[in-house]
Structure 1
Amino acid sequence: MTTHTHRQKDLIADIYHRIASEYDDRIPGFTALDATFSDTEISFVLDRVGPEDQVLDLGCGTGRITLPVARRAGSVTGFDLTGSMLEQAARKAGEENLQVRFEQGDMADLPFPDDSFDVVVSVLALMHVPPADHPAVFAEIRRVLRPGGRLLLGVKNAVFERFSSADRFATVDITDVENKELVFTGTQGGAEFRAPWHSFSPDDLKRLTAVAGLVPVTIRGNIPISAWLADSVLDNGDLAGAVRTLEALLGDLPPLNHLGYHLLVEAVKPAVPS
């Protein structure tokens, strides 16, 4: 690991330590579009998780995805760089009497044996991983997946950013596209924090999965129509409903899926030949 990469990880861990207690009040935002965005993410994951699956949630944070998965899967492990975020997740899991294992560490060096999980989930977290570590993270995901296992990934879409710097999800954590940073504004202590932030195009994801030996089977654009419409248009309930229906029908189909604000990806580890 280079000194620069190590410093980036330390910075990210420190920022999330500072905002852990308020994180759940910052995400997912306050508008109907925020709710649709978050619901689409969670549905994408839950539709691909079964009651017998052993699931690893990488970059689980305070459990926004981990807890819904724990209500459905056979077992869940939440993994994150920041201990304070894991403490929040563990507290919430305890309140619901959910059996979730939590571990702290680095996604580029997972402390799990080969072929440990049926599903690996990572929503939003990969965007904080330094680019130099991307190949290692995807290689580690493949290693810990069982043959036939699935990677379920959510990331910001670099194609969208080529056309627009608009933020379409949440209001206090702002994506600074030009400087490739996530800016945490309006924190309880009044400070502003900036964390490195890396988006991915569909081609980036195809390359990273292919090099790691994973096969992408679905690339879905999250809010691929809504993201391009003015808020005033989406305030019309009937029109917004029609847009949501169309997005649900066409979100998997190119080129529309490549234009979403975020990308949701399913990739599979090939089964061992018989």
Structure 2
Amino acid sequence: MFTPQGPSLRELAVQALSSVERGYDLLAPKFDHTPFRTPDSVLDAVERALSAMGPFDHGLDLCCGTGAGMGVLSAVCRESVTGVDISAGMLAVGREQEPPSGESGESAQSGPRVDWVRGDALALPFGSVFDLVVSFGAFGHFLPREFPELFGQVHSVLRPGGRFAFPLPAPAPPSSPWYWALLGFDGAMRVRNAVWRPPFVMYYRPFRLGDVRRELERAGFDVELYALPEFGRRRDGSPRCRMVVATRGDG
């Protein structure tokens, strides 16, 4: 898809007619060559913002996929970095890749311990052991009714004072071609899920800042927003991309 190394249209069609787990198992070997991987520009911006807040000891990449966000955690966490994902195929690719070692080129042994864990984001297999949880590009796999459960799970694996951070781009305006492209994509997915089983949950539009902030606060988080200046501002002065930082209180 878009590159010779990416999946073909036929491969994408087979993946789209599978479950989320099976679809990503099939996509995993070529995932990093698709537009679905979080761009390095976003990863770098989040890393810079988190570096100003850290360092942290133990980090979790929620729905880590092949591990694009694991490098961010390895740069800001001192003790351990854990990636959790429901797709065994995505985790296998992540394990096979060279462990992140940061910009300094130091060996993996000098950085945090790296672990890959197969698990469901709605039933995380951890206690309250993390100082930082991040996630990149995964929230479209959860329906709005699942946000309370999802954020409750993240709250449960953070230590008091721990932070849950993720980038959130501003929605495209109706004048943008991206607005209509995403609207069409979500519409096609709704039709697909209405006529085909198992469902493949992937919607771009329902994860909106107002709803997300409200559900995070209901889950017990204090929420702050940080503009990511690398992406500039829209005509109305609002940031094109923010980092949401939700902090678990001491209670």
Q: TM-score, normalised by structure 2?
A: 0.71
Determine if contact 2:25/2:89 at 8 Å carries over to the other structure.
yes
Q: Does 1:22 align with 2:24?
A: no
What is the rounded CA distance, in whole Å, between the counterparts of 1:197 and 1:111 in structure 2?
Answer: 26
What is the rounded CA distance, in whole Å, between the counterparts of 1:160 and 1:206 in structure 2?
Answer: 19
Superposed displacement of residue 206, structure 1: 1.3
Superposed displacement of residue 116, structure 1: 1.3
Partner of 1:166: 178
What is the rounded CA distance, in whole Å, between the counterparts of 1:197 and 1:175 in structure 2?
Answer: 12
Superposed displacement of residue 54, structure 1: 0.6
Q: 1:176 aligns with which of 174, 179, 182?
A: 182
Partner of 1:66: 70
What is the rounded CA distance, in whole Å, between the counterparts of 1:109 and 1:165 in structure 2?
Answer: 37
How many aligned positions are there?
212
Q: Deviations over 1:135-158 (max 9, x none)?
A: 10101111111111101022454x
Determine if contact 2:44/2:72 at 8 Å carries over to the other structure.
no
SS at match of 1:271: coil
Q: Does 1:101 align with 2:115?
A: yes
Partner of 1:212: 219
Q: What residue identity is the alignment partner of 1:82? A: S
Q: Deviations over 1:35-72 (max 9, x none)?
A: 5444323433444441x421111011111111232244
After superposition, the Cα gap between the structure-2 partners of 1:102 and 1:203, relative to the gap in structure 1 and judged at 3 Å, is same
Superposed displacement of residue 76, structure 1: 0.8
SS at match of 2:213: helix
Determine if contact 1:128/1:197 at 8 Å carries over to the other structure.
yes
Q: Deviations over 1:228-256 (max 9, x none)?
A: 8xxxxxxxxxxxxxxxxxxxxxxxxx951
SS at match of 1:197: coil
Partner of 2:154: 141
Unmatched tracts of structure 1, length 5 or more = 1-7, 168-173, 184-193, 229-253
Unmatched tracts of structure 2, length 5 or more = 1-15, 102-107, 190-199
Q: 1:89 aligns with which of 78, 89, 94?
A: 94
After superposition, the Cα gap between the structure-2 partners of 1:20 and 1:265, relative to the gap in structure 1 and judged at 3 Å, is same
Q: TM-score, normalised by structure 1?
A: 0.66
Q: 1:112 aligns with which of 126, 151, 154?
A: 126
Determine if contact 1:154/1:263 at 8 Å carries over to the other structure.
yes
Partner of 2:243: 264
Determine if contact 2:163/2:245 at 8 Å carries over to the other structure.
yes
Q: Does 1:76 align with 2:81?
A: yes
SS at match of 2:115: strand
Relative to structure 2, which stretch is displaced further, 141-150 or 88-97? 88-97
SS at match of 2:245: strand
Q: What residue identity is the alignment partner of 1:126? A: F
SS at match of 1:112: coil
What is the rounded CA distance, in whole Å, between the counterparts of 2:88 and 2:126 in structure 1?
Answer: 18
What is the rounded CA distance, in whole Å, between the counterparts of 1:209 and 1:265 in structure 2?
Answer: 10
Taking only aligned residues, the RMSD between alpha carbons, in angstroms, comes to 3.2
What is the rounded CA distance, in whole Å, between the counterparts of 2:151 and 2:157 in structure 1?
Answer: 10
Q: Deviations over 1:16-45 (max 9, x none)?
A: 11221111222578xxxx654443234334
Q: 1:55 aligns with which of 38, 59, 76?
A: 59
SS at match of 2:28: helix
Partner of 1:43: 48
What is the rounded CA distance, in whole Å, between the counterparts of 2:188 and 2:62 in structure 1?
Answer: 19
Superposed displacement of residue 215, structure 1: 0.8
Determine if contact 1:78/1:102 at 8 Å carries over to the other structure.
yes
Partner of 1:11: 19
After superposition, the Cα gap between the structure-2 partners of 1:150 and 1:143, relative to the gap in structure 1 and judged at 3 Å, is same
Q: % of aligned pairs identical?
A: 24
After superposition, the Cα gap between the structure-2 partners of 1:43 and 1:211, relative to the gap in structure 1 and judged at 3 Å, is same
Q: What residue identity is the alignment partner of 2:86? A: L
